[in-house]
Amino acid sequence: MAMGRARKEFITSERERLLEEVPIVDEECNRDFIKAIIEMGGGDVQVCLQCGNCTGVCPVSLKTENKIRNIIKMCQMGLKEKVLSTPWVCATCHRCYEHCPAGMNPAELIVALRHIVVRELGPPPFVVSISNNVANLGQAVEISDEILNLRKKIGLNEKPFDERYRSKAIMDLKTIMKATGYDKLIGIDLGD
Amino acid sequence: MNLQTGAKVGVFICKCGANINSVVDCENVKSYASQLPGVTLSICNDYLCSPDGLMQMREEIRKSNITSVVVAACTPRICEKIFRDNIEKAGLNRNMLHVANIREQCSWVHANEPFKATEKAKNLVKMGVSRAKTLVPAEGVDVELKQEVLVIGGGVAGVEAAYKLAELGFKVHLVEKKPMLGGNMATMFTCLLWCHEAPGKPQSLNFRFGTFPACDCSGCTIMPKLNDVITHPNINILLLSEVKEIIGHVGNFKVKVLKKPRFVDEKKCVGCGNCAVVCPVVKKNEYDYGLSERKAIFMPYQQAIPRKYVIDKEACLRLNGQECSACVEACEFEAPNFEDREQEINLEVGAIIVATGFEPYKPRIHGYLGYHEYDNVITIMELERMLDKAGPTGGIVIRPSDGKIPKKIAFIQCVGSRNRKINAGYCSKVCCMYTMKNAQAIKEVHPDTDITVYYIDIRAVGKGVEEFFHRTREDYGVEYTRGRPARIIEDKETKNLIVRAEETLLNKITERMYDLVVLSVSLVPSEGTQELASMLRLRTSPDGFIQEAHTRMKPVETSMEGIFVCGCAQGPKDVPESMAQARAAALEVAVLLSKKVAKAESLNAFIETDKCIGCGLCVDICPYGAPTPVLTESGVKMKITEALCKGCGTCVVSCPAKAIHARQFTDDQIFSEIKAALEAE
């Protein structure tokens, strides 16, 4: 009697921790996805042997659930929905490329996926704000007031760069962004 | 134009089932051909090369008194000989044939453009008809086939081929670069009979370990064979020798072999080893992959056959101008001979077998797996030598850093295999199995060792090999983890190794510590394969091994007639397969040479003596040595020895007086084709 109750309690508590996974079905496998990837420069995605060498050398693989090897496999299967939510953690350090025995370039695959994500789902907020900073300030991160005050306090120039050269460089950057359509793609306002 | 008067050309068009006919409109080509000037007959057949097709061809030739034949079918590389034989049977000279390739050059490459493909086929037939009218009968020349064979490489494949041919009565010259026979297989000599007394050993397993999958001692299997070969009266063994030059052609190759000095008289040396005891020079033994030391006078390894000592020219004091005669004084038989000199040996052989084998891949100088940086990372060949009872460690596995017996060993598969950064990315085929064999052997010697194998895919195919894999995991408890290691880090104090890899089946990154890491390295073509291939004018495949003539139908033939390939020279393979190929190559040689005389196709060049100005350009340029100057009444003239000429045409284009012609490709014949091609419709 006691045994039966214990088992029942165990099963009930375990049940809450069980995953609600469902099998991958045919509808999720989009074979045209590979064509889109190839178009965006991830052409060698089909050469992967799934050896796992890339994951082993990847500096961020311990921080993500979907390792780079998993992403490649998902691309091969055409699991577009699953893949498109993942590609922003990669540091594009290209270590995977240096080690890949099949001669594949997984980092470039990630870049191709980012192209697709931006075009289909729009850029994630952090990409928009970084792009805005680059276009308007010439650098990805804005220098905080705290730092500017600190510089002033210890007698340094207020800004750690020469404004004349910087504004010319920002003009050039804006020209490039306009010419390539980058501003429209990301949705940043370049002013005039 | 050198036209045949009243030439009657027969055009035979092959539909090749749907292979040609589904693209090229064969009936259209047929009616087009029948209107061409000089064409008496034009026929289509579904399969011209079938017995029925060939019979129809013969009957039509006889019925219509055809004088020359155009066959529009597949490439002449496949069926030309069949059609030449066939028209000969029909009573024509075998030279009265032209093959127009309307399959590879029309229906296959222009499959999307049937109309244009048909037009091209018509044009090719028209050119063929035009050339067929200029063909002249010619007889082939008889070539005497030398009843001697050269086998390059004294490994298991070369030795087997040489032995079989010698038994058939051919004189065989066996050339080996190293001072001993047996190649790589002989270095995997492992006889573990002794360990059956070892405590804690599973009782049911009664194996010895040398080569997989039967796990019999490789030495025990190859030694009797090597002994047969060295004592065989028909085999001339040339050790420490390399082929330097080969000219000639099937049936008559002239070979120059360079035999390096051994500095020990092979006839006098009994292999007692007294000389090595007193020799003052100590070097690392390259035949034990640096695991042991040797003297300047040495035997590569204990079981080397023949059991004769050899002196290292670079290391010996006496040969480098210093005073030393230790070995001479120690030898009772006066075997050391410092007067030994390099010899050049000239051979004339009818056929050649290339059995140059493989060598284990050496990881890159600073590879990421740390082979050169860390003491305890070794390759599989070093492990093989350790497991040899008569080898450097007496049959036990040790860590090179401290000589201790490792408790945890990792094998890493696919080092140099399946890697497009290093080579063509081929699979070496045997590494999965040799790892299983060695893992089992280690478990037999040291039963409490933990072994992990890092692999990408296990390729255990072949008879009994899957079972062998199961035994490794089930009976011996070897762990297999799927994932290619990313890097190896050495613990500086203990010299242990941390292997970081993804366990891809669990989706987790692992970092595990081992005492010893063994790299299962790939098989690469042995050094000098490329040079030998270019000397013999053989093709090599992208992986660097020698390319066979046809992957399926001609597995031991090469692109050069009379030259055959067997064993690992053709690609990585295991011992049973090498043996089978060696015997196949031996049989091919025997079939070829047993005819004694062969008829060569009359492709040869000939000289119009009147036009020859005796400049001798053709003599310099001919790769086969066919033209020779002769003194005639009207001065020096060139003469071509037809048996030596291969019809390459080099002399034809070089002749400033236009005196040389290739028999099947005279200017008349080629210009008639070009003219037909450029003619307006």
Average confidence (pLDDT) over A7-23: 72
Residues of chain B in contact with residue A53, where contact means CB-CB under 8 angstroms, are 483-486, 502
**pLDDT, position B366:** 59
Euclidean distance between the first and the last CA atom of chain A, given in angstroms as a whole number? 81
Average confidence (pLDDT) over B346-374: 88
Does the structure show a pLDDT above 90 at B369? no
How far, rounded to the nearest angstrom, does the alpha carbon of residue B170 sit from its chain's CA centroid?
21
Answer whether the bond into residue B555 is a cis peptide, omega within 30°.
Answer: no
Does the structure show a pLDDT above 70 at B83? yes
- Type of residue at A11: I
| Percent of residues, chain B, with pLDDT higher than 90 | 64
Dist CA B176 CA B161 (whole Å): 14
Which pLDDT band holds residue B39 (cuts at 50, 70, 90)? very high
Mean pLDDT of chain A: 87
CA of B368: which chain A residue's CA is closest? A99
Task: Count CA atoms within 13 Å of residue B234 on its CB side.
Answer: 18
Which pLDDT band holds residue A192 (cuts at 50, 70, 90)? low
Does the structure show a pLDDT above 70 at A177? yes
Kindly determine whether residue A62 and residue B509, on different chains, have CB atoms separated by under 8 Å. yes
Which pLDDT band holds residue B1 (cuts at 50, 70, 90)? very low
Chain B nearest CA to A62, separation (Å): 8
Q: Give tens-digit pLDDT for B188-214.
A: 766 544 333 444 444 334 444 455 555
Q: Which residues pair with B661 in a beta bridge?
A: B606
Q: What phi and psi values does residue B602 have, to the nearest 5 degrees?
A: -80, 70
Between residues B664 and B16, which one has the greater pLDDT?
B16
Q: How far is CA B244 from CA B260, B439, B570, in A?
A: 12, 41, 21
Token pair belonging to B577: 């397969």
**pLDDT, position B576:** 87
Contact B11, B30 (CB under 8 A): yes
Q: Is B418 on the interface with A (CB under 8 A)?
A: yes
Kindly determine whether residue B504 and residue A62, on different chains, have CB atoms separated by under 8 Å. no
- What is the ipTM, given to two decimal places? 0.80
Q: Give tens-digit pLDDT for B257-307.
A: 999 999 999 899 999 999 999 999 999 998 888 888 999 999 988 888 899
Between residues B365 and B255, which one has the greater pLDDT?
B255
**Among A53, A71, A158, A136, which residue's Cα sits nearest to residue A110?**
A71
Token pair belonging to A85: 């939510």
Does the structure show a pLDDT above 50 at B472? yes
Average confidence (pLDDT) over A100-119: 93
Instruction: Evaluate the CA torsion angle A159, A163, A169, A173 in order and state its sign.
Output: positive
Count of CB pairs separated by less than 8 Å, A with B: 63
Does the structure show a pLDDT above 90 at A11? no
Average confidence (pLDDT) over B407-433: 92
Does the structure show a pLDDT above 80 at B446? yes
**pLDDT, position B4:** 53
Q: Give tens-digit pLDDT for B605-627.
A: 889 888 999 898 998 888 777 88
Residue of A51, A71, A100 for testing the chain B interface, max B β-carbons within 10 Å: A51
**pLDDT, position B196:** 39
Mean pLDDT of chain B: 89
Token pair belonging to B558: 């090469």
Dist CA B21 CA B14 (whole Å): 8
Kindly determine whether residue A50 and residue B486, on different chains, have CB atoms separated by under 8 Å. no
Average confidence (pLDDT) over B21-29: 94
Strands of B473-548 (E only): list them. 479-482, 487-490, 497-503, 508-514, 516-521, 523-525
CA of A101: which chain B residue's CA is closest? B419
Q: Which residues contact B292 (CB under 8 A, 6 or more apart)?
A: B284, B285, B391, B392
Q: Give tens-digit pLDDT for B546-599.
A: 999 888 889 999 988 899 999 999 999 988 899 999 999 999 999 999 998 887
**Helix (H/G/I), strand (E/B), else coil: B643:** coil
Between residues B77 and A9, which one has the greater pLDDT?
B77
Q: Supply the DSSP string of B177-228, one letter for each residue.
A: SSSSBSHHHHHT----GGGGGSTT--TT-----SBTTTTB-HHHHHHHHHHH
- Burial zone of B656 (CB within 10 Å; 0-12 exposed, 13-18 middle, 19+ buried): exposed
Dist CA B45 CA B72 (whole Å): 10
